[in-house]
């Protein structure tokens, strides 16, 4: 028995990595499994990253975050609440059926109508703001009707993929979770739950957006998203030649991956800003001078270089420099311990203050680095570790939580202030952990919500940023980069600032 086992094992060992030998397979080491394949039934970027290789959307984003047509050929705004989209002709679903205005209307009805998904409402509904209805003008034209003006509709459309009406009616919403029929460059072969999603090139692909060259079929035969949750194992898969792209490359592996001639490191600015809300509702941080002092006490560049391996961009405000409405003329936040101490003394704390910085376990290292710098400037900071969910809950009500500071981040894939500036800094909004409430800001943000003039709206956000810079409700920190590991044989792919892995153009040697 033992002998038999041993010889079987040896035989297994001799049949070496066959999968590595097939040239046109692109393997992604992915940090998590998708939760569903239904484009309308999730709120997860990991899930979206796989889905949008199978499903295209009306509009897409270029790498510099410009919105361009994809399944739509063009679009225009008819009036403040009506938008019209002309659809590309000859677009086919994987099943062979042609995409029509019917499918587009069906897809968006499924997203925004209550109970439209087998009795449930799509969790993506609010990503379409006040969109209430879609009408068919002719087989290649649809109109979107909004309940109120919503200038950022186009910016949010790349997040919503078009499904086939016939297919959904055939398999139902339960079937959509595990099967797929999209218009995208790859079609589903198999989803092995918890293990991998296997896709193959769709030969009937219309080519994709002309604004995102190259136009044409996908460059590889197959794509495999292989779930490898442990980062050390993901790095091992890359080094062993079992993966062509791995996401969330840990900082400690960067040198090793760079040193290996068969692997490389790729990175791009992420969409998640890091900052530290100070509790503006109670002493000591209800005094603007103390908050300004805190902002002057942090050496962002030093922490980025030493703790984050240089893979982050320092921020003087909340927004990513790539965001719409970014104010490039905010005062630069540089380390000035003397001024910080003077400000503290003016605020009545000549001997400094003692405060606590709350942080989720995952960010302990950086939080400790910030705390030691604050301490040097007289803001003696103790770090307290929390479980993330408990922490969020505690800070949802800063006015009654009796806490001082919290290490926070906010992600905004659409790179529009409405997705980050509003929730974090508008009075009582959902991510406002600092308890900051400023009438001027609230008024600006409210009017920007419905301002249709692009330049005017941008100006409103820039003004708001200037006020926030003065009021300093948060310690502004940095924008980390998304870091990927890649094999040397991978060509024509670079990380997207949206944080998703779209593989239409990618090739492998």
Partner 1 sequence: MSPLRLAERLLQLIPVLLGISVIVFAMMALTPGDPVQIMLGDSLADQAQRDSLRRDMGLDLPVVERFFRFLGNALTGNFGLSFFHRRPVMDVILERLPATIELTLVAMLIAIAVAVPLGVIAAVKRNSLLDRIATVGSMLGVSMPGFWFGILLILLFAVNLHILPVSGRIGFGYEVKMATGFVLIDTLMAGRLDSFLDALRHMLLPAVTLGLAMSALLMRVTRTSMLEALSQDYVTFAEAKGLSRLRVVGRHALKNALIPTVTVAAIETGSLLGGNMIIETVFGWPGLGRLVVEAIFSRNYPLVQAAVLIYATTYVLLNFLADLLYTVLNPKVRL
Stretch 391-420 residues interacting with partner 1 (CB under 8 A): 392-394, 410-414, 418-420
The pair phi, psi for residue 253, each rounded to 5°, is -95, -5
Q: Does 38 sit near partner 1 (CB under 8 A)?
A: yes
206 vs 421, beta carbon nearer partner 1: 421
Q: Does 179 sit near partner 1 (CB under 8 A)?
A: no
12 vs 90, beta carbon nearer partner 1: 12
Among 467, 487, 468, CA closest to 476? 468
Q: Please state, in angstroms and rounded to a whole number, the distance separating the CA atoms of residues 471 and 467.
A: 6
123 vs 314, beta carbon nearer partner 1: 123
Q: Does 430 sit near partner 1 (CB under 8 A)?
A: yes
- Residue range at the interface with partner 1 (CB under 8 A); choices 13-21, 286-294, 363-371, 462-470: 13-21
Task: Write out the two tokens for 229.
Answer: 């949750």
- Residue range at the interface with partner 1 (CB under 8 A); choices 261-269, 281-289, 385-393, 471-479: 385-393
Q: Please state, in angstroms and rounded to a whole number, the distance separating the CA atoms of residues 398 and 431.
A: 11
Q: Please state, in angstroms and rounded to a whole number, the distance separating the CA atoms of residues 488 and 272.
A: 28
Task: Render 467-481 in DSSP notation, one character per residue.
Answer: HHHHH--EEEEEEEE
Give the shortest CB-22-to-partner 1 separation in angstroms: 7
CA angle 100, 106, 109 (to 5 degrees): 145
CA angle 477, 480, 485 (to 5 degrees): 165
Tell which one of 204, 207, 241, 352 touches partner 1 (CB under 8 A). 241
Q: Does 486 sit near partner 1 (CB under 8 A)?
A: no
The three-state secondary structure class of 199 is: strand
Q: Does 508 sit near partner 1 (CB under 8 A)?
A: no
Binding positions for partner 1, 135-164, rule CB under 8 A: 156
Binding positions for partner 1, 325-364, rule CB under 8 A: none
Q: Does 2 sit near partner 1 (CB under 8 A)?
A: yes
Give the shortest CB-413-to-partner 1 separation in angstroms: 7
Task: Render 337-376 in DSSP notation, one character per residue.
Answer: HHHHHHHHHHTT-TT-EEEEEEEEGGGHHHHHHHHHHHHH
The helix or strand, by DSSP H or E, that contains position 225, with its residue range, turns out to be: strand 222-227
Strands 186-192 and 196-201: antiparallel
Size, binding site for partner 1 by CB under 8 A:
72
Tell which one of 43, 255, 306, 470 touches partner 1 (CB under 8 A). 43
> Which residues, in sequence order, are bridge partners of residue 187?
200
Give the shortest CB-363-to-partner 1 separation in angstroms: 16
Please state, as a whole number, how many other Cβ atoms lie within 10 Å of the Cβ of residue 190: 12
Among 290, 302, 299, CA closest to 334? 299
95 vs 393, beta carbon nearer partner 1: 393
Q: Does 17 sit near partner 1 (CB under 8 A)?
A: yes
Tell which one of 8, 74, 286, 402 touches partner 1 (CB under 8 A). 8
Give the shortest CB-210-to-partner 1 separation in angstroms: 28
Give the shortest CB-333-to-partner 1 separation in angstroms: 23
Q: Does 233 sit near partner 1 (CB under 8 A)?
A: yes
């Amino acid at each position: 028995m033992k002998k038999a086992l041993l010889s079987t094992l040896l035989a297994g060992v001799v049949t070496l990595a066959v999968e590595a030998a097939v040239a046109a397979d692109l393997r992604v080491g992915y940090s998590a499994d998708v939760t569903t394949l239904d484009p309308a039934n999730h709120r997860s970027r990991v899930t979206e990253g796989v889905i949008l290789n199978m499903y295209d959307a009306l509009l897409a984003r270029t790498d510099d975050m410009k919105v361009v047509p994809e399944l739509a050929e063009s679009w225009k705004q008819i009036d403040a609440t009506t938008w019209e989209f002309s659809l590309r002709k000859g677009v086919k679903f994987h099943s062979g059926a042609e995409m029509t205005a019917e499918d587009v209307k069906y897809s968006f009805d499924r997203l925004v109508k209550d109970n439209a998904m087998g009795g449930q409402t799509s969790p993506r509904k609010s990503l379409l703001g006040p969109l209430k209805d879609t009408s068919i003008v002719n087989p290649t034209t649809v109109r979107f009707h909004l309940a109120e003006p919503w200038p950022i509709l186009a910016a949010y459309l790349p997040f919503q993929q078009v499904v086939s009406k016939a297919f959904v009616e055939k398999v139902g919403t339960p079937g959509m979770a595990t099967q797929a029929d999209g218009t995208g460059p790859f079609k589903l072969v198999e989803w092995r739950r918890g293990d991998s999603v296997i896709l193959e090139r769709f030969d009937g692909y219309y080519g994709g957006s002309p604004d995102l060259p190259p136009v044409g079929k996908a460059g590889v035969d197959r794509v495999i998203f292989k779930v490898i949750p442990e980062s050390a194992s993901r790095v091992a898969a890359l080094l062993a030649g079992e993966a062509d792209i791995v996401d969330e490359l840990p900082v400690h592996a960067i040198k090793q991956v760079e040193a290996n001639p068969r692997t490389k490191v790729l990175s791009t600015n992420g969409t998640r800003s890091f900052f530290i809300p100070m509790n503006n509702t109670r002493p000591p941080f209800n005094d603007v001078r103390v908050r300004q002092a805190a902002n002057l006490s942090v050496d962002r560049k030093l922490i980025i270089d030493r703790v984050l391996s240089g893979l982050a961009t320092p921020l003087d405000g909340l927004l990513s420099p790539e965001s719409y409405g970014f104010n490039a003329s905010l005062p630069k936040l540089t380390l000035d311990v003397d001024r910080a101490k003077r400000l503290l003394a003016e605020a009545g704390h000549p001997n400094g203050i003692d405060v606590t910085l709350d942080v989720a376990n995952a960010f302990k290292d950086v939080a400790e680095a910030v705390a030691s710098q604050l301490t040097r400037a007289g803001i003696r900071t103790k770090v307290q570790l929390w479980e993330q969910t408990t922490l969020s809950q505690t800070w949802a009500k800063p006015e009654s939580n009796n806490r001082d500071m919290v290490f926070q981040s906010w992600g905004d894939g659409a790179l529009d202030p409405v997705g980050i500036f509003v929730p974090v800094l508008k009075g009582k909004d959902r991510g406002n952990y600092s308890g900051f409430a400023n009438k001027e800001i609230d008024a600006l943000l409210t009017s920007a919500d419905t301002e249709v003039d692009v330049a005017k709206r941008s100006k409103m956000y820039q003004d708001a940023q200037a006020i926030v810079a003065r009021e300093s409700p948060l310690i502004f920190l940095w924008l980390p980069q998304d870091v990927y590991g890649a094999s040397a044989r991978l060509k024509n792919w670079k990380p997207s600032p949206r944080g998703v892995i779209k593989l239409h153009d990618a090739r492998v040697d």
